[in-house]
Structure 1
Amino acid sequence: MTARTVHLPVAAQDSLSDVVGIGERAEELGYDRVWFPETWGRDAVTTLAALADRTDTIGVGTSIVNTYSRSAALLGQTAATLQEQSGGRFRLGLGPSGPAVVEGWHGQEFGNPLKRTREYVEAVRQVLSGEQVDYDGDVVQTRGFRLRQDPPEPVPEIDITGMGPKAVELAGRFADGWHALMFTQAGFEDRYADLRRGASLGNRDAEDVHTTFMLPCCALPDSDAARDLARQHLAFYVGGMGTFYRDAVARQGYEDAAETIHGAWQDGDRERAVASVSDDLLDALAAAGTPETVRQRVAKFAAVDGIDAIAVSFPRAADREVIDQTLAAVAPE
C-alpha cells in the first residue's frame, strides 16, 4: 500500500507553532510522515526538532536540505541529533538544490552537483556509523571526525532528490530513497527507468529504493478557487525558481508552456505566467479541485508502479484553512 505523507508548507504561516501544528494535525489524521523543506523561511533543523517534541508516532524528515550551506560532517551530526530527538523517527533528505538558492542566497559556487551529492551521502553515512571519518573526496574533505555520542539507532536513511536522468540514476545507485518533484505520470515513469538503471549499476534492487512522489494538492468545495491556487503555485516554480523546474517540465512534453511561463514571469508579467498554466498541465502536475476530485487524482498517482509514498504538498499561497481542508480530504483511510 502506498504511504501517505505531508510536505509542510514553507510560506504563509504566521509562526513556527503554526507550522508544527500542521504536523500535529497530520499525525492525528494518520499520515505516515511529515517532511519539511528548507528554502528561505524557517530552517529545517529547528522546525523538525520542535515537531519531534510535539508529536509521538509520525515520522519526520527533511525534504530537502541542500549540500552547499552545511558541511557533510555537520549534516551527519544533525541527522544523528534529530534521530535522537525524534526517538528514531527521522529520515534525511538532501540534494544540491539549484543556482538560484546556492549562488543567490548562500553565495556558494554551484559546481559538481552530482558528485557533491554522492560524496555527501557517503560521508554522512560514515559519520552516522560512529566510526572515525577520514573522507578524501573531490568535493568533501573530512579528517579525524567522529561523533562524541553513541551513533544513532537505527541509523537514519538518506534520500536524495533528482529531476534529471543522471541525478535519478544516482539516487538508484547510492541512496536509500528518491524524492520526485514536479513530475507528470509519464515523466515519472521515464525517470523511474533511470532509477532502475542506477540500482542495477549499484548491484541493488530498485524496489529497495524508497520513492516519494511530491504532489501539490488543493481540495476545496470551490473547485475554481482550489485550481487557481494550484495554478499560481506551479507558475511560481516554473517561472521564478531558476531554470531547473522549467527544464523538467519541458522534458516532459510541455516545452512551449514551460518557456512561456518562465519568460512571462521573468518579464514581470505574473498574470500571463499564471494564465499560461493550462488545465492539462495543471492536472498533469497537481491534484486540485473539489475534495472528491482530488482524492481521485491522488489515488491515480498512488497506483503508479514505483511510487512508495505520496507526499501531499500545498500551494504556496494556501492559508491554514485551505491546508486543513486539503489534509482532511486526502487523509489515509
Structure 2
Amino acid sequence: MPTLVPRWGLTLPLDGVPLHRHRPLIDAVAELGFTDVWSAETAGADAFTPLALFSSWSPTLRLGTAIAPAQTRGPALLAMSTAALADAAPGRFALGLGASSPAIVESWNGLPFEQPYQRVRDTLRFLRRALAGEKIDEAYETFTVRGFRLQRVPEQQPPILLAALRPGMLRLAGQEADGAILNWLAVTDVPKAVAELGTAEKEVAARIFVCPTTDRQFVGVLARRLISSYLTVPAYRAFHEWLGRGDALGPMWDAWEAGDRAAANAAIPDEVVDALVVHGTPDECRAHLRAYVDAGVTTPVAALLPTPDIGTPEGVLAAIRAVSPA
C-alpha cells in the first residue's frame, strides 16, 4: 500500500478541443477536485507547451509531462524546458521522462532508437546534475555533454518520474528517480509493477484510459482498436507477457503479425477490454479508478476517450465530471 497521499489527475489537452479553448476546462478541473494535469506527447501537442499555458491559468494544479521522450531532444534542451516550467510553476511541475517508441523516435523524428534503457538512465542522471546548477562535462554511455551549465536554475527542483513497464526500468525508477509512470495495465497488475520499485516511498502515477459511457458496443469497438494499436508494439507486448496476459492476447498478436487487423481486434477478449479500459456510469468509473489507488497507485491520471456525447462542450464537461474525484 502506498504511504503517499493519493493525488488525482487528468490528461490534457483533449483531442478535438483547440488549445486556446481549454481555459474553461482548466477552471472546471480545479473546481472538481483534481490535483494534477498531465500532458502527453505523440503526434499532437508537445509535452511542454500546453502545461506552460495551463500554469498561467491555474495557481494550484500540479503539472506533469507523461511523457517527454529522452531521445527526441538533446539533454541540454530537455534540461532547459524542464527548468523553464519549474520556474513558471514553482513546486508544481513534475517531469515524466521515458524511452518512447521506435515509431515516434525513428519513423517520425528521424533519430535512432538505440539503447532506450541506457538513454533514459543517462538522461536522468544528467538532469539531476544540470537542474542543480552543476557544470556538466562528461561522456555518458549514450551521449556526451561538454561544458554545459544551466543558466536558469529552478528555485525548487522538480521531481522526475520514469515511464516504466518492466523490472529494469521500474527498478531504476525506484532507485534513482522520484517515482514511476505506468500505462496500459489493469488494477490486478499494479501490485506486481509496484513491487519492482523496491520502496513504498516513491510516487506511482498511472495513465488510465477511461470511456465514461454505458454503451458497451461503442466501448468495445474503440477499446479493441486502441488495444491492438498499442499492445502490438514490442515493448507493450513484452510488458503484457510479463504480466501473464500472453494466452489472452496471443490470438491478437498472431492475427496482427499476419496483417489481419480486423481479426486482431476481434480476438481481444471482453475481459481484457474490461480490465484495461475503465467504462460505465460515472460512479462505476470513479470506483474503478479508486481501485487503482487501493492497489498501489498514488496518482491515477484519467485519459479520457471519446464517448457518443463528447462532441459538445457540455459533453466534454460531463466526461470530465464523470472521472473527477468529487
CA deviations 1:265-297 (Å, max 9, x no partner) are 455544333333322111222211222222221
Question: Residue type matched to 2:297 in 1?
Answer: I
Match of 1:97 among 96, 100, 107: 100
SS in 1 for 2:243: helix
- 1:84 has 2:87 as partner: yes
CA deviations 1:124-181 (Å, max 9, x no partner) are 11111122222331113212211223x2121111111111111111111111010011
Match of 1:159 among 151, 158, 161: 161
Match of 1:229 among 194, 217, 222: 222
In the alignment, the residues of structure 2 paired with residue 327 and residue 309 of structure 1 have an alpha-carbon distance, to the nearest angstrom, of 16
The answer for the alignment partner of 1:248 in structure 2 is 239
- 1:3 has 2:21 as partner: no
Match of 2:114 among 111, 129, 149: 111
- 1:182 has 2:184 as partner: yes
Give the C-alpha shift of residue 253 in structure 1.
2.4
SS in 1 for 2:145: strand
Report if the CA contact (8 A) 2:212-2:307 is conserved. Answer: no
Report if the CA contact (8 A) 2:214-2:279 is conserved. Answer: no
CA deviations 1:5-31 (Å, max 9, x no partner) are 112256x32522245654443223121
CA deviations 1:284-321 (Å, max 9, x no partner) are 222112222222211222211x3211111123788455
- 1:308 has 2:310 as partner: no
SS in 2 for 1:163: coil
Q: 1:20 to 1:253 in 2, by over 3 A?
A: farther
Give the C-alpha shift of residue 208 in structure 1.
2.4
Match of 2:278 among 272, 284, 287: 287
Q: 1:169 to 1:90 in 2, by over 3 A?
A: same
In the alignment, the residues of structure 1 paired with residue 168 and residue 136 of structure 2 have an alpha-carbon distance, to the nearest angstrom, of 27
In the alignment, the residues of structure 1 paired with residue 267 and residue 12 of structure 2 have an alpha-carbon distance, to the nearest angstrom, of 27
* Unaligned 5+ runs, structure 1: 197-205
- 1:33 has 2:36 as partner: yes
CA deviations 1:21-48 (Å, max 9, x no partner) are 5444322312111111111111122221
Q: 1:21 to 1:69 in 2, by over 3 A?
A: farther
CA deviations 1:32-65 (Å, max 9, x no partner) are 1111111111112222111212222111111001
Q: 1:141 to 1:24 in 2, by over 3 A?
A: farther
CA deviations 1:241-278 (Å, max 9, x no partner) are x2222222232222144333344445554433333332
In the alignment, the residues of structure 1 paired with residue 215 and residue 175 of structure 2 have an alpha-carbon distance, to the nearest angstrom, of 44
Q: TM-score, normalised by structure 1?
A: 0.87
Q: Map 1:141-220; keep pairs closer than 5 Å.
A: 141-149=144-152, 151-196=153-198, 206-220=199-213
Q: 1:16 to 1:266 in 2, by over 3 A?
A: farther
Question: Residue type matched to 2:218 in 1?
Answer: A
- 1:332 has 2:325 as partner: yes
* Unaligned 5+ runs, structure 2: none
SS in 1 for 2:175: helix
In the alignment, the residues of structure 1 paired with residue 263 and residue 274 of structure 2 have an alpha-carbon distance, to the nearest angstrom, of 19
Question: Residue type matched to 1:259 in 2?
Answer: G
In the alignment, the residues of structure 2 paired with residue 236 and residue 118 of structure 1 have an alpha-carbon distance, to the nearest angstrom, of 27
SS in 2 for 1:208: coil
Match of 1:46 among 45, 49, 55: 49
In the alignment, the residues of structure 1 paired with residue 120 and residue 204 of structure 2 have an alpha-carbon distance, to the nearest angstrom, of 17
The answer for the alignment partner of 1:201 in structure 2 is none
In the alignment, the residues of structure 1 paired with residue 169 and residue 215 of structure 2 have an alpha-carbon distance, to the nearest angstrom, of 38
In the alignment, the residues of structure 2 paired with residue 217 and residue 57 of structure 1 have an alpha-carbon distance, to the nearest angstrom, of 24
Report if the CA contact (8 A) 2:224-2:268 is conserved. Answer: yes
Question: Residue type matched to 1:3 in 2?
Answer: R
Report if the CA contact (8 A) 1:9-1:313 is conserved. Answer: no
Q: 1:124 to 1:96 in 2, by over 3 A?
A: same
Aligned-pair identity in percent equals 30
